[in-house]
Structure 1
């Protein structure tokens, strides 16, 4: 299973939110490039980077910083947050980003998302962020009536790189993943599913791997010290 250490950006800093609440923010580092180097030095083979301001505002707010992070990383980087146009996709690809996570336009403009997915095959990742099974968008500030599993099924024929499935209630809470919901997503989607939200320890990673998930994004546990990077890599069955 692929391990994706997460770096969430806001105001140029590396932060973590609880349940996507912008009012419940913890700053973990003021130099995200240094955080990148620490993950890479520790054995990370890929990184997941999120522009939290971009997610809320619908723009590539921290594109310049992300480009510096991608260059420093030298490994595949997956970026999400505010990617709502062809121009932003091209901007990030030119900056060296490997995969782009798109959520809001997939929910709000499915025809546009389909066109973009076909224009950039095996590059776009469908970001499905669910609150009690229903999809949220625009930095999780809006909740739709659509079920996450239904959108995954509707996207079956698109040439996506993967699906990132986030359980918002678990995100940043260190209370363990929502395994039944994740398993349902893995079974419903023909695309590789990357889990996100709730990981607190190595047992959580092993449980996620047992669902058939292709990968897992881990954030707060790596920053709070509850899970070391080497232990996370080992639990994900990746080698240093």
Structure 2
């Protein structure tokens, strides 16, 4: 299982929200590049970046910070938040981002997303955010009537790189991930599923790895020092070697 440490950008700073609530923000660092380099030095080979302003505005906002991060590190970087048209996709991939997470537009314009997947094969990640198993959109401001697994199955025949599955109830709450929901999603689809939300302990990392998840995104736990990134990577590798 890959470990993707997370950098959430708002106003050019590295922050975390609780359950996606913009009113519950904690600023962890004014220098996202320094944070990214610390992750790389701890052994990370992947980096998950979220443009929180972009998710709300509908187009990327924190581009200078994103460009600085990508230029500074030697990791596979993915970006989510406000990625909603071909022009933005082409521009962001041109910056050197490895892949882009598309959520709201995939749900609201499924035909467009299918065509765009064909245009950018294995570069787009389907971002599914769910509240009580139902898909949420627009920076988690709206909840639909579509189940997360049902949505995923609509797109698994397309050349998507992965699915990032976020359980909103656990995100940023330091209360553990929804392992059952994550396992259900990975069992239902043939593409890699990246678990996002709630990883709090090294046992959470182990549980997700043992559940067969392809990757896990870790945010607040790293910033609050719950465990070290290097230990999380070691556990993921240990589980992989034991299978």
Q: Which residue of 2 aligns with 1:42?
A: 42
Q: Which residue of 1 aligns with 2:51?
A: 51
Q: Which residue of 2 aligns with 1:24?
A: 24
- TM-score, with length taken from structure 1: 0.98
Per-residue deviation, residues 18-52 of structure 1 (Å, max 9, x unmatched): 00000000000001111111111111111000000
Q: Which residue of 1 aligns with 2:197?
A: 197
Distance 1:153 1:36 in 2: 33
Q: Which residue of 1 aligns with 2:135?
A: 135
TM-fit CA distance, 1:63: 1.4
Q: Which residue of 2 aligns with 1:72?
A: 72
Q: Which residue of 1 aligns with 2:178?
A: 178
Distance 1:143 1:235 in 2: 35
Q: What is the 5 A alignment of 1:1-240?
A: 1-237=1-237
What residue ranges of structure 2 are gaps of 5+ in the alignment? none
TM-fit CA distance, 1:100: 0.4
TM-fit CA distance, 1:232: 1.1
Per-residue deviation, residues 166-198 of structure 1 (Å, max 9, x unmatched): 000000011111111111101111110000000
Per-residue deviation, residues 190-239 of structure 1 (Å, max 9, x unmatched): 11000000000110011001111100000000000001111111111179
After TM superposition, the structure 1 stretch with the greater mean CA deviation from structure 2, 121-130 or 180-189, is 180-189
Distance 1:37 1:45 in 2: 11
Distance 2:236 2:118 in 1: 31
Distance 2:26 2:172 in 1: 10
Measured on the aligned residues, the alpha-carbon RMSD in Å equals: 1.1
Per-residue deviation, residues 91-137 of structure 1 (Å, max 9, x unmatched): 11100000100000111110111111111001100000000011111
Distance 2:153 2:94 in 1: 31
Q: Aligned pair count?
A: 239
